[in-house]
Structure 1
Amino acid sequence: MAAPCRQVGHQIQRKSRFLLNNFEQLWSHRTFGWTSALQQQAANTCKVAEPTETIVIPKKKTWSKVAVLEALAATVSRDPTAHPYQFQDDPYLTPRTASEFRLYSLSQESGRSAAKYFVNSNPKFFTKDFAEPHIPCLMPETVSLCLEETSEEALKERIKLRKVKAAVDMYDQLLQAGTSVTMETTHDLLDLICLYCDQDPVDDQETQTEDIEGAAEEVTKIKGRVRRATDLLRSTWKENNNAERIFNLLPERDTRCYSALIRGMVKHGAFARAFSVYTDMLNDRLTADVHIFNALISAAPEIKDKYHERWDVITDLLKQMSQQKVPPNLLTFNRILKALRRCGSLARAHSLYTLSEMKALGIAPSLASYYHVMSIACHGASSQATNDIFQVIMTTLEGTSFTCQDPDDSLFFVSAMRICFDLKDLQMAFKVHSLLEVGENWRFLRDSYQHNLYYGRFFNLLCLMEHIDTVLEWHRRLSPSLYYPNSQNLSSILQALDTDCRLDLLPAVWKDIYTLGHDNKADLVEELLALMARDTHSPEVQESFAECALDVKNVIDRVGRRPSLEWNPASLSHITTLLLRAGKIQQAWEMLQLFKSNNRVPAQGLLEEFLSVCHSKGSTQMAVELVQTSATFCLSATSTLAKRTLAEFDLTEEQRATLSDLESAGESFE
C-alpha cells in the first residue's frame, strides 16, 4: 500500500515541477478564451514593428517640488541604532518597550483625531496656508452642510460629505417636488449608499466627537490584526433598503446602476441576491463591466458547497466575460486566485493556468497574486512541492520594487516569512528580506502588528538556524529600530546561546530583557536563571552571573511594579547558587532567609553546597546556623549536615553540643 502512495506522490511532484518549468508555454492551454490567435498575432507584430512616433526632446527638465527632498533621502540609509521616524519628534517620549509603543501609538492617533476635529470644526482659524508644496490633507475640510434648499447641488454636497441619510432624504424631496435628478448624480448616490450599506460612515463628525471625549480608543485583536472596536459592528445588507428602493424607482437603469447594487450586495454579504440582480441585468440586455464580474467571482465560493461547483460558477463567469467582450484586469485574476483557495484539490493546477493567462494578456501579477498562489501551494502539499513553487516565485520577484495595486498585497511578506519558518529555510528567508528592502517594498508591512509578526518569525528562524554571533548582529540591527522583540523572541536567543555554548553572554541578554520591559515575564526570568545556574564556569563568568542574579533579585523584590513575579523555590535556589559560586556568601545567606519569609523549603543539594562554601571560607558560625535553619524546616538532610559540620569544622564545645542535639533531631525527621 505504501509503494503506490509513494508513486502517486512522486507523480504529483513531477507534475508540479513540469508546470513550473513550463510556465511560459502554458498559455496555449488556456480555457478562458479572452485572447484569440488573431490578437496574439497582432501583439507579436507590434513587438517587432519599428516605432513611427517622433521623439521630441524637451528644452528643459521639469522637476517636481519634492525632487530635492527625494534626492537627499536616497543618500541616507536606515540607522539601526535609531528609533522609528514616527517617534523622533519627541525623544523623551520615545517608546522602548512593546507596551510603551502601543500606548504611544494610541496617543498619537488620538491626538491626530482631536486636531482633525478641531481644524474641521473651526476652519476660520486656519485660512492661511504656508506649506510649500501645498498639502491638501492638512487643510480644513468642509464637514458641515452649507446648502439647505432642495436642489441637486444640495444633493451633490451631501454625497460629497458622505452624509448617507441626508442624501437619501434630499433625493426623496427632489422626487416629491417633481425635480429630475441627472443620471450621473444618481450613480454617485447609489455608490454612496451601497458602499456604506445604507448607513452613515462610522468616522463622521459625531463619532469623532465621541472618540475625543473618550480617554483612549478601545482596541480589539481580531484574527491576528488590531482593529478598532467600531469595526466589530459589521453591517449586513437588508432587503428593500434605500439602495434597492431608489434602484427600482429609476425609469432607466444602466450598467453603472447595476454595478453599484451588485458590488454593495457582495460587500455586505447578500451573495445570492447579487447573482439574482446580475440575471435581471442580463434580461434587460445590458452588458456588465469588469467590476461586476470581479464582485461575482469573489462571491462564487459563498453560493456553492462543493469544490467543482464553485469552479464551474467561476468558469461560467469568465466565459460570459469573453462573450460580452469585457477585458479582465489585475483584480479579476486576483479574485480568481482568492476564490481558488476555497476550491480544494482543484486549486493547484488552475492557479498556475490563471497565472499563465495573465502573462498571455500582458497583465503583470501583483504581490497579492503570488500570495494567493503560495497559500494554494501550501495547502495539503508536501514540503518539497511547496518549496519548489516558492523557489520559483522568489526567483521571479528578486530585485523588483512594487506598488500597491490590491489590498491583499500587504499580506505577501508576512505569509512568505511564515512559509520560510515552516520550511526552516533560512536562505529563502534572506531572499524574502532582501526583496522587502528593495525600493519602498517595506511599506507593505502596513502596521505595527505585521511588523512584529514578520520580524518575529524572521528572528526566530535566525535563532534556530544561524550562528549566535550572526543572531546577535541581527538583533542589534532590528531592535528597536524596526520591531520590539516579545518574550518568545528573547527566549529564542537564550536557547541559541545554550546551543552554541555561549552562556557567558547571558548577562547581556538580561539587559535587553530589562530594557525591553520583559523582566516581568516569570517564565523568561526563570529560564535565564536556570541556564546561569546549570553549570559551573570560570570565576569571571561566575562574577558576572552573580551581578545579574542580584539585578533579578532587585526586580522581583519590587512587588509593586512587578506583581506578576513572585519568589518560588526554583528562582530562590538559582540565585542562591549563583551567589555561592561567586563567593558572595553574605548575599547568599540573605537569600536563604528569604526561603523562611516566603514559606519555601530549600533543596538538600543547595544546603550541602552552602556548607561546602562555608568550609572553604572558614565560616564556622554560619555553618552552625545553616544546620539550625535545616532543622527549622524539618528537613531529612539535617542529620547529614550536622555530621559533616562536626567532622569538617573546628568547633567550640557549645557548638558541638548544639550540633549533636540537631543531629539527634534530624534522625527523627527521616
Structure 2
Amino acid sequence: MFRISRMKYKNGSNGIVQNLFARQSTATAKKTTESANESQRIVIPKKIDRGPTDLLYTLSKTVGRDPTAAHYKYHDDPYLIPTSLYNRDQYALSKESGKQTAQWIKQQHAKLFNSKDAKPPIEAFFPKPVYTDESEVDLKCLEDSVESLNVCDAILIYRLLTAKNVTVPDELKQNILELVCFYNHKDPIPFDMFEARGSAEASKRSRDAKPDVWVENSFADQLFQSIEPKTPAAYNTMIRGLYKFSSLERAEELYNEANEKKIPLDLATYNSFIRNINKPGVTAEMRWEQIKITLGDINKRQLKPNVKTLNAILATIKAGGNIHSIIDYAVQTMAEFQALNIEPSLETYAHLLDIFHGKQSPPSNVIYQIVERIEKNPNLIAQGPDDLTFFYKAMVVCRFRLRNSASLARRIDNIVTHSDNIKFLGDAQQEQFYYRYFLTTILHNETFAEFIRTYDQLVPETYSLEPSVADDIFSTINITGTIQHVPKFWTDIVISGISKRSQLNDSILALMTTNQPLADVKEHDGLVDQFAEIAWTIYQNAMNDQFASARKEELIPATRLANIVILLLQANRHQNARTIVESCLEQQKDKRIIGCLTDEALSAFIDSCVVNKEPRIAIQCVAYSIENGVGDAIQFGRKIVQSFTLETNEIKRITDLVGQDVLKSAQKSTE
C-alpha cells in the first residue's frame, strides 16, 4: 500500500510522488528524495480495469459477513424483511417482477424512451428493437442480436437476410449456430434476473420436471446443413447442443460421422460424449471400456484432458453397477489425472462423495481427505454449475453416513463462511437444505447448549426453520428436559410460517403436556402461562385455518384438543378450556373434530367446573363420558353431586345418567 502526497520541486512545479509504508533510515530517505528531484520523471502505473462494485467488495472484506443479518436484497424496509422460506421467494420474485414490468412498459411505449442525451448513451435504458417479417434488416442487426443473446431475433433476422439473398459470413453463421445450440432456440432468462434463473433451475431439479429436449428439424439443423463445407467448429457445436438437450441418437450419429470423415473434434465435444455414454443396457464395465477408448482418441488428437474431462468420467462411472468396481474405476481415474497435475474442482469432490459415501458404499474416510485438501486452499474458484452441489452433499454425508461428525460439519461450514465461498451453496433451496442438515448434525452430536449458540446465528435470517428440524429439536428437549427453550422455538416457528403444521403442533403439545414446569426451578418461571398461550394459539390456528384442506389437514384430532385443554387449565384459563370442550360435546360437535377427549382432560375440566361453579357443563361432560366410553362416569357424577347444590332437574339428569346409587353414596359421604 502507498500514500499519495503532493510535493513541490526545486523549480517550483507541483508533482505527485509515492511514499511507501516501509522503515528506512533518514539517509536512505534523503537519497531517494534527491534522486527523484534529479530525474524529475513521474512513472504513472498501468491502469487496472475495475468493476463498478470492486471498491465496495474490498470494503466488505474488511468487516466480514454477519450471519445474523438478512440478505441485502431484503433491506428495502426493515419492517418487511421476510423470515419464512415462502415469503423470501415471493419477496425476491416480486422485486424482479417489478423490473420485468418496467421493461414491458419500456417496450410498449418505446417512443418515450428514445432520448439519447446521456454521453456515452446507456444501451440498457433504450427499448429493445422489435423485428417482424416486414422489417428492414442488415448484417449489423444480426451481429447485434447475436451479441445481445437475443436468440429468437437472431433466427428471424437470419431468415430475412437469406430471403433477400444477402450473404452471411461464415464466422457469423458459426456464431449463430453456437447461440442457437446453446440455448435450444429460446431466449435465455436475463442475467440480472437472479431469482427467476434460480427458480427455473430449481424446477428442473424437481421430480416432475420435463427435460428440455432438442427441437427436431429445427433452425439449427437447417443452418448446419447450409454450412458448406462442413467445418470442425460446426460439427463440435451441433454435437454438444444435441447432447446437452438429450437428442442422444442424433448426437451419436454426428459424432460417428465426424470420426469417419476424420473431422477433428475438440475436447469439449469429447467431454460431452463421455457424459452421455450411459444408455439402457450398458453395464459399468462397458462404460469403462468406452471411456478408455475415448481417452485414447483424445490422446491421438494431442489434446490434454482437463478437469471437465475428469468430472465427465466420474459422472459416467457412478451411474450404476457393482459399487466395488465403481470405486476401483474412480481410484484409477483420480490417479491418472493427478499424474497430469489436474486440480479437482468442487464438482469432482461431489462425484467422489456419491461414489465413496453412497447408500451402498462401504465405510470410507474420503470426505475427510477432501475437506483437508480444500482447507489448504479455501479460496474456491467456480468451474461449472455442478460445483454448487458439493457442500450440500458433504453435509448430507455428515448427517446420514458418518457418526460423531459434528467436528467435520463445522470444518465444512468454516470453508463455506470463508471469504465469499457462501455463493457455492447455490440457490435459496439448496442453501436451505445445507443448513437443515448442518443444524441437525450439530443437534445430534453436540450438547444442546452448543446447538443453541449455532442456531441463534442462523435462524431466522440465514435459515428458515422447517418442520422436520423443529420436530428433532422438540425430541431433544424432551430427552434433556430443557423445556425453558420451548417458547423461544415456538416464536421461531411462528416467524418461519410453519405454526399451522398439524404434526409439529402435536409434537409440541405432547412435549408441554408431558413435561410440566416445576415451581422450584428458576428457569421455569412463567412457563405455565407461556405454554397455555402457545396451546391457545394452536387451537385458534386450527379453527381459522383456511388452507388446511390444501394440506390435507382439515380434520382435528380430539387428542390434540385434550392436550390444549390440560395446558389451559394448568394456567387457570377455564373459559378458554370450556370453549374447546363445548366444541367436542355431541350436542354442539364440530364436524372437523375426530375422536374423543382423553380421560385426563375430561377429569381436569370437571374439576375446573367445580372450582368455577358450573354444574351444567359438568353434567354434559358426564353424558359425553358415557356416550364415548371416556373416563369413570360414575366417579364424575359422584364428584358433581358432592360439590354442587343441584336443582331438581339437574339431579334428575345425573340419576338418569349414572343411577340412584350416586346420590346415596354422596349422602353417606356427606354424613
What range describes the TM-score normalised by the shorter chain of this pair? 0.7 to 0.9
What secondary structure is seen at the aligned counterpart in 2 of 1:469? helix
* 1:115 partnered with 2:115: no
What secondary structure is seen at the aligned counterpart in 2 of 1:294? helix
* 1:459 partnered with 2:448: no
Match of 1:413 among 391, 398, 417: 391
Match of 1:354 among 333, 341, 348: 333
The residue identity in structure 2 corresponding to 1:475 is Y
The CA deviation string for residues 95-143 of structure 1, in whole angstroms up to 9 with x for no partner, is 232332232122122122223344566383564669xxx9979554744
* 1:639 partnered with 2:634: yes
Judged with a 3 Å threshold, the aligned counterparts in structure 2 of structure 1 residues 138 and 449 are, in CA distance, closer, same or farther, namely: farther
Distance 2:528 2:166 in 1: 90
Judged with a 3 Å threshold, the aligned counterparts in structure 2 of structure 1 residues 235 and 624 are, in CA distance, closer, same or farther, namely: closer
Match of 1:546 among 532, 545, 551: 532
Distance 1:238 1:571 in 2: 57
* 1:437 partnered with 2:424: no
What secondary structure is seen at the aligned counterpart in 1 of 2:228? coil
Match of 2:622 among 613, 627, 630: 630
Distance 1:71 1:167 in 2: 39
Q: Tell me what 1:470 maps to.
A: 450
Judged with a 3 Å threshold, the aligned counterparts in structure 2 of structure 1 residues 143 and 314 are, in CA distance, closer, same or farther, namely: farther
For the 8 Å contact 2:460–2:492, the answer to whether it is kept is no
Q: Tell me what 1:321 maps to.
A: 298
Judged with a 3 Å threshold, the aligned counterparts in structure 2 of structure 1 residues 282 and 91 are, in CA distance, closer, same or farther, namely: same
Distance 1:291 1:584 in 2: 72
Q: Equivalences for 1:76-225 in 2 at 5 Å?
A: 76-119=63-106, 122=110, 124-125=113-114, 127=116, 139-140=125-126, 142-144=128-130, 152-162=139-149, 167=154, 180-197=167-184, 199-201=185-187, 222=203, 224-225=205-206
For the 8 Å contact 2:236–2:269, the answer to whether it is kept is yes
The CA deviation string for residues 170-211 of structure 1, in whole angstroms up to 9 with x for no partner, is 6567667776543312321322332344x343659xxx9xxx
Distance 1:175 1:614 in 2: 91
* 1:493 partnered with 2:488: no
Distance 1:221 1:417 in 2: 19
* 1:301 partnered with 2:278: yes
- How many residues are paired up? 587
The CA deviation string for residues 373-394 of structure 1, in whole angstroms up to 9 with x for no partner, is 1112133544522xx1111111
**Higher alpha-carbon deviation: 508-517 or 441-450:** 508-517
Q: Which protein has greater RCO, CA pairs closer than 8 Å, 6+ apart?
A: 1
For the 8 Å contact 2:131–2:153, the answer to whether it is kept is no
Q: Tell me what 2:269 maps to.
A: 292
Q: Tell me what 1:580 maps to.
A: 569
Structure 1: state its 5+ residue gaps: 1-56
1:359 shift after superposition = 2.5
Match of 1:377 among 353, 356, 359: 356
1:537 shift after superposition = 3.0
Q: Tell me what 1:259 maps to.
A: 236
The residue identity in structure 1 corresponding to 2:393 is S
Distance 2:517 2:163 in 1: 91
Judged with a 3 Å threshold, the aligned counterparts in structure 2 of structure 1 residues 351 and 573 are, in CA distance, closer, same or farther, namely: same
Judged with a 3 Å threshold, the aligned counterparts in structure 2 of structure 1 residues 588 and 422 are, in CA distance, closer, same or farther, namely: same
Judged with a 3 Å threshold, the aligned counterparts in structure 2 of structure 1 residues 508 and 251 are, in CA distance, closer, same or farther, namely: closer
Distance 1:61 1:565 in 2: 70
The CA deviation string for residues 428-485 of structure 1, in whole angstroms up to 9 with x for no partner, is 2112211111221111122111111111122222332332222222222112221211
For the 8 Å contact 1:164–1:200, the answer to whether it is kept is yes
For the 8 Å contact 1:330–1:365, the answer to whether it is kept is yes
For the 8 Å contact 1:579–1:585, the answer to whether it is kept is yes
For the 8 Å contact 2:283–2:321, the answer to whether it is kept is no
Q: Equivalences for 1:611-626 in 2 at 5 Å?
A: 611-612=606-607, 617=611, 621-622=613-614, 626=618
Distance 2:515 2:151 in 1: 70
Distance 1:265 1:474 in 2: 47
What secondary structure is seen at the aligned counterpart in 2 of 1:344? coil
Distance 2:200 2:146 in 1: 30
The residue identity in structure 2 corresponding to 1:72 is L
1:660 shift after superposition = 5.2
Distance 1:631 1:174 in 2: 89
Judged with a 3 Å threshold, the aligned counterparts in structure 2 of structure 1 residues 510 and 665 are, in CA distance, closer, same or farther, namely: farther
Judged with a 3 Å threshold, the aligned counterparts in structure 2 of structure 1 residues 445 and 112 are, in CA distance, closer, same or farther, namely: farther
The residue identity in structure 2 corresponding to 1:432 is I
Distance 2:212 2:516 in 1: 60
**Higher alpha-carbon deviation: 473-482 or 538-547:** 538-547
Distance 1:220 1:257 in 2: 28
What secondary structure is seen at the aligned counterpart in 2 of 1:302? coil
Q: Equivalences for 1:8-23 in 2 at 5 Å?
A: none
**Higher alpha-carbon deviation: 137-146 or 298-307:** 137-146
For the 8 Å contact 2:177–2:237, the answer to whether it is kept is yes
Distance 2:575 2:165 in 1: 97
Q: Tell me what 2:8 maps to.
A: none
Q: Tell me what 1:598 maps to.
A: 589
For the 8 Å contact 1:555–1:562, the answer to whether it is kept is no
Identity, in percent, stands at 22
1:259 shift after superposition = 0.9
Distance 1:656 1:348 in 2: 82
**Higher alpha-carbon deviation: 389-398 or 375-384:** 375-384
For the 8 Å contact 2:137–2:160, the answer to whether it is kept is yes
For the 8 Å contact 1:467–1:500, the answer to whether it is kept is no
Distance 1:435 1:537 in 2: 41
Distance 1:357 1:298 in 2: 18
For the 8 Å contact 1:624–1:645, the answer to whether it is kept is no
Distance 2:357 2:88 in 1: 34
For the 8 Å contact 2:350–2:387, the answer to whether it is kept is yes
Distance 1:393 1:218 in 2: 30
1:369 shift after superposition = 0.9
